[in-house]
Structure 1
Amino acid sequence: MKTVIIKYNAGNVQSVMYALDRIGASYLYTDDEEEIRSADKVIFPGVGEASTTMNYLRKVGLDKVIPTLKQPFFGTCIGMQLMCRFSEENNTECMGIFDVDVKRFPATPDLKVPHMGWNNITGYKTALTTGLPDDAYVYFVHSYAAPVCEYTVASCEYVLPFSAMLHKDNFYAAQFHCEISGDAGQQILKNFLDII
């Protein structure tokens, strides 16, 4: 099986590679269109800022390629946010795979932004969470989030409820970092690679 990790010149790619190594998966790290199109699975991991990352995708043409892919595709953190229509982070037009806007968490006196640390996800409705215990804990680092919407297949609450995971057709996404979410994150990555 050919798994591609999308190169976008930012983020926690090494952590994703280590996570795939732990489950015995081979992978290729690239921004080459033909390599991506010929992959069996595509992972778009993320740590970064929305406008900078979108600018890189536009520069190499992947902003047009990604929405046309037909194989299972998994975006995490900034990867998930850029799969949405728009991000309030620097007023960024994104890829529009999910017809929802990413919004900054509102300021509150009791909760810090960014949302950083372990939190539980609930309301699973996706094959990616097969084998997870109820209310599994995963690791988040983000100041922006997609609201609960028609594509939500797992949710979380911090300041307000938000989408922890999204799904539409062959596109899957998680706001949290699977690669540093312990056993739960490892199970989600394994489930993604097992999707036919």
Structure 2
Amino acid sequence: MNPSTNQTPLDYLNQIAPQAPKRPVFAWNIRTILLAGIAAIVLVIILVNVAGAIANAQKQPWERLYAKLDATSSVVNDSSTRIKNSQLRSLNSDLKLYITNTQRDLAAPLASLNIVPKKIPASVLALESNADMKQRLEVGRLNAKFDSTYAREMTYQVATILALLQQLYSAGAGPQTQAFLKTAYNNLEPTYTALSKFSASNE
């Protein structure tokens, strides 16, 4: 012990021993930086994919509605000269006018979602294809049952359009879009009811 400082030999040795360098709390070596960078990139990719999936989920019902109207319009136009019954011919004309007006009014909601009708995915177009319906109508024509076949097929088509309008309305949107969807639904419902009754009476 040093009498002048009241130090024990152990204290003295501790005092003159080299001190271990203090490590910073966050030691940024190359490996840590690389791992942090990779984690950040993975997180960004995940967020972009999630955002894309949400955007696609919002767009698809609108794309389906447009594709369904377009496919139905084609059948309505083709059927104009083949329908014999005057009541059914009148319903077909109503449907033609409805589709024309609805496609016109649909332009604004589609634009707000950055949907370009000519760029709707092939998978959506395939889902709403009218090829099978046209084939059934041709069979009906060959069997001299075009009117009843048309009424049955169009009742189903119109029902799916109404269901899409209801789905989009329930999903929520701006006031103008909601008003468009409500009007489109209300304008089509009487045609659906009339087609359904005609189909039932001709089965």
Instruction: From the two aligned structures, give the one with the greater strand fraction.
Output: 1
What's the TM-score once normalised by structure 2's chain length?
Answer: 0.24
What's the TM-score once normalised by structure 1's chain length?
Answer: 0.25
Instruction: From the two aligned structures, give the one with the greater helix fraction.
Output: 2
Larger gyration radius, structure 1 or structure 2: 2
